[in-house]
Structure 1
Amino acid sequence: MARLILASGSPRRAELLEQLELDFDVSSADIDETLKLGECAETYVKRVAYEKAKSVAQQFHDCIVLAADTCISLDGSIIGKPQSKEHAFHIWQALSGRQHDVLSGVCVVAENEMYECVVKTQVTFQELSQSDMESYWQTGEPLDKAGAYAIQGIAAKYIPSIKGSYTNVVGLPLYETVKLLKAVKALN
């Protein structure tokens, strides 16, 4: 079987992939992840996952490359990582008491084959008080997280429900990833 490369520096994606008990190496893709004018969330995550996989596949011939990209969408707008405390509070005020979408594009490239998918999960946040936001910010967890939260961490206490894949919200939808890896014979 060909060597599997995870085209991501995300420790959360590596941890999720380890749950599948696969041997893999990690190689971060160095690509421009800038949102293109008029690009919707679904198109964006699909494009970025493909570009990550393609970039790493060019470095590692005869390997299977798995890449993913995840974003949060609210009312059609992509919500990124917080740039400051004020930005995080602005994000949480927008998410508070509402449902938003978490979308992941997943792409697997092997030799001349390429398989991809986009997975969407709906996440509902409770109403967040100023005290909730201040307390959560102080944990340090929101830094470097899309939407300024980590569902697998402290933020879980603010999320009464999700509809769809939990692992998608963490950063790699495992069920769909397994299907793609089976398509390239990386799994039985």
Structure 2
Amino acid sequence: MAHIILASSSPRRRELLAQLGLEFDILSPDIDESVQENETVAAYVERLARAKAEAVAVQYPDAIIIAADTSLGVDNEILGKPESKQHAFEIWSKISGRQHDVFSGVCVRTKDEKYSIVVQTRVHFQALSVSDMESYWATGEPIGKAGAYAIQGIAARYIPKIEGSYSNVVGLPLYETVQLLQTVKALN
């Protein structure tokens, strides 16, 4: 089997990809993740996934590279990871009691081919009180998570419904990732 590299430092992506039974190495590229002017959430996550794959391909041109990026979108605004407790509260205030979309860009790259896709999942989020926010922040779970929550953790209590891929909300849409790997003939 070809050498597969996951271009991500996310432990959640590592766990999800491992569910597929693949053997892979991990290399986390350092890229500029600044949002470009008038960039949509979908364009942003796809651009970052492609940039991560490209950065790793320079070092390992013969590998199959899987790269991804995940962000939330609400009211045409990109909501990333919280930079502080205050920032997490601002994010939660924007998604509290309403729906938002989680977008993941996935890129699979080989020496000769490069394919990418954007997967969108709608998440229904319950209204949060300040007490809910304080309690959730105190768990430490929101730190380093897009949208300041982890659907696979304590935050599941706040999410009555999703429309689309669960693994996408965690950070790597598995079905679509498999489809891309099959396209480059990395999987049967």
Partner of residue 48, structure 2: 48
> Normalization by structure 2: what TM-score?
0.98
Structure 2: distance between partners of 1:36 and 1:64? 28
Kindly indicate whether residue 125 of structure 2 is the aligned counterpart of residue 150 of structure 1.
Answer: no
Structure 2: distance between partners of 1:14 and 1:146? 16
Q: Calculate the aligned-residue CA RMSD, in Å.
A: 0.7
| Paired residues for 1:4-153 under 5 Å | 4-153=4-153
Q: What amino acid sits opposite 2:55 in the alignment?
A: S
Greater shift in the superposed pair: 85-94 or 37-46? 85-94
Percent identity reads: 64
Structure 1: distance between partners of 2:47 and 2:76? 17
Structure 2, unpaired ranges of 5+: none
Structure 2: distance between partners of 1:77 and 1:83? 16
Deviation beyond 4 Å, 4+ runs, structure 1: none
Structure 1: distance between partners of 2:111 and 2:61? 8
Structure 2: distance between partners of 1:161 and 1:135? 22
Q: What amino acid sits opposite 1:33 in the alignment?
A: E
Q: What amino acid sits opposite 2:118 in the alignment?
A: V
Kindly indicate whether residue 175 of structure 2 is the aligned counterpart of residue 172 of structure 1.
Answer: no
> Normalization by structure 1: what TM-score?
0.98
1:19-67 deviation digits (Å, cap 9, x = unpaired): 0000100001111011011111011011000000011011002110000
1:135 is displaced (CA, Å) by 0.7
Greater shift in the superposed pair: 112-121 or 77-86? 77-86
1:91 is displaced (CA, Å) by 1.1
1:102-148 deviation digits (Å, cap 9, x = unpaired): 00000000111011100000001001111111110110001111111
How many residue pairs match? The answer is 188
Structure 1: distance between partners of 2:135 and 2:31? 35
